Structure 1
């Protein structure tokens, strides 16, 4: 099997799993409140990431990590998993999955906006058009297509979903300066974020009375959304970067399949009737993301 085939397989498996998490969030939230779900999922993700690193023989890298990187992971842990998933799970608690999931995909657009003040990047007219296109898609989804009335089905939920994209974008911007092993950095961030998650749960909620259903649902979210799938995606990108791997861009573009596959899972697993406005709005969001990534041949050569 060639590296290109391996990259494609690992990438498709990761995208397939990510496509199920919107449904998994809603199923888990039937049994747990957002903070309880975050607490249980964080424990599961720490076990998953720790198990992967133990299998790879990399657990010692946590001990040998530079003090500066450990401090960075502590701060990143406040963003992800603590703030990001706390806000995201609350958004899913308030919104139908078919609304929360596409809005969450605007994080790449948010990343471009925040890169201007934080990284000194500039936005072209094409970039501005892509941003307007994506956020118009959010309006289409959130108003169920009745964009002229601007009557949002749940304005708080939409606001939280958009706020989660800011946290996620900040996490990746600050993470670009990290020199730590990606899995080690993610595991340490989760370990550092866990005490804050536990404190918030004890203060604002309570420890969950776990049942088989809630344990399986939270475990799935932690193992796959917040743990194993990240390692699968890194493996796909590693194979894609090899000389015969076909290039990372080809694998990265697989992520555009995820939101549409997710709607299929939402329909069959949650029983939500997928509205035409959801499909149209999601198409606008994906088009905006694609336009943001597109560059003319002359610019790519440069």
Structure 2
């Protein structure tokens, strides 16, 4: 297992994954027209190889029972394949919103974990953050679900359950070193490449900047993000991580605005307030417990 960390430290490390995932949309927009399965194969290969290089224990960590490999590979592959399928078979706004049920599912499902207790502030934080995410993704224009896209909606819902289940099961596999993520990424890369060869036409980047974006995706939102998320869900406060994950679509939208891929709107400002408030409410216990400890310490010292 990775070195034991305090619950707060592991939670903060896990939150780094949320920041890294916010880069996904901007880097993807700059990466060209590579088809989804090829894109998955290349970025997961980059992420897996880089983790193997920077984390020498990754090779040893690959010696895991079949059950661990099934959780890791099926979790990562199942989520990404289902999400890409949803985007191709349903409007992206609706598919994205259904997919973003996974933070709520993580918070609710965490009640099944040993030693975890679901509190009102976790649910309230998720509801506030989800409301903010609806504003971000729909741009305040409302949401319409159409029967003709039911297959795509179902795939998006499956993706949400896949990532939530993967995160919860990872907590139950806390003794598995986080370095094992490197092996999972490489297997997913192989599966994605085989699927790509069977279903897609190969398209390679046409400029150095597109390659920079793709390499950046493999290094940050894939390799490093999965690694720190694994540390967070195994050793940190998984309920805070679930609620705070709604920061990803907000930060992603802000980056798209700054980089010129999206336009600023008042709905983004309102969403910013709702998601930030939701994250603070969900993390209430950790934030105020730490503040109380700081205030009490001088009195104890005296």
Identify the TM-score tier after normalising by the shorter chain.
0.5 to 0.7
1:135 to 115, 130, 136: 130
Matched residue, 2:109:
114
> How many Å separate the matches in 1 of 2:125 and 2:144?
24
Is 1:106–1:285's contact at 8 Å kept on the other side of the alignment? no
2:169 to 169, 174, 177: 174
Matched residue, 1:204:
199
| Comparing 221-230 and 38-47, the one that deviates more | 221-230
Matched residue, 1:285:
275
Is 1:109–1:134's contact at 8 Å kept on the other side of the alignment? no
CA deviation profile, 1:23-79 (whole Å, cap 9, x unmatched): 112222x421221211111111122111112xxx3244146x34x2x5312332121
Gaps spanning 5+ residues in structure 1: where? Answer: 1-5, 242-246
Gaps spanning 5+ residues in structure 2: where? Answer: 1-8, 294-302
Question: How far does residue 281 in structure 1 lie from its aligned partner after superposition?
Answer: 3.0
> How many Å separate the matches in 2 of 1:282 and 1:104?
20
Question: How far does residue 10 in structure 1 lie from its aligned partner after superposition?
Answer: 8.6
Is 2:51–2:58's contact at 8 Å kept on the other side of the alignment? no
CA deviation profile, 1:249-280 (whole Å, cap 9, x unmatched): 9xx89988765543332113243103322342
Is 1:34–1:89's contact at 8 Å kept on the other side of the alignment? yes
> How many Å separate the matches in 2 of 1:259 and 1:139?
10
What are the equivalent positions in structure 2 for 1:99-248 lying under 5 Å apart? Answer: 100=96, 107-116=102-111, 123-147=118-142, 150-151=143-144, 163-178=158-173, 179-183=175-179, 185-213=180-208, 214-229=210-225
How has the CA–CA distance of structure 1 residues 284 and 92 changed in structure 2, closer, same or farther, with 3 Å as cutoff? Answer: farther
What are the equivalent positions in structure 2 for 1:11-22 lying under 5 Å apart? Answer: 17-22=20-25
Root mean square deviation, CA, Å: 4.6
Matched residue, 2:29:
26
> How many Å separate the matches in 1 of 2:113 and 2:201?
37
> How many Å separate the matches in 2 of 1:294 and 1:256?
16
How has the CA–CA distance of structure 1 residues 225 and 124 changed in structure 2, closer, same or farther, with 3 Å as cutoff? Answer: closer
Q: How many residues align?
A: 270
How has the CA–CA distance of structure 1 residues 27 and 119 changed in structure 2, closer, same or farther, with 3 Å as cutoff? Answer: farther
> How many Å separate the matches in 2 of 1:263 and 1:84?
22
How has the CA–CA distance of structure 1 residues 162 and 287 changed in structure 2, closer, same or farther, with 3 Å as cutoff? Answer: farther
Is 1:25–1:92's contact at 8 Å kept on the other side of the alignment? no
For the residue of structure 2 that corresponds to 1:176, the secondary structure is: helix
> How many Å separate the matches in 2 of 1:87 and 1:119?
29
1:79 maps to 2:82: no
1:58 maps to 2:57: yes
TM-score of the pair, normalised by structure 1: 0.67
For the residue of structure 2 that corresponds to 1:295, the secondary structure is: helix
> How many Å separate the matches in 1 of 2:85 and 2:280?
28
TM-score of the pair, normalised by structure 2: 0.67
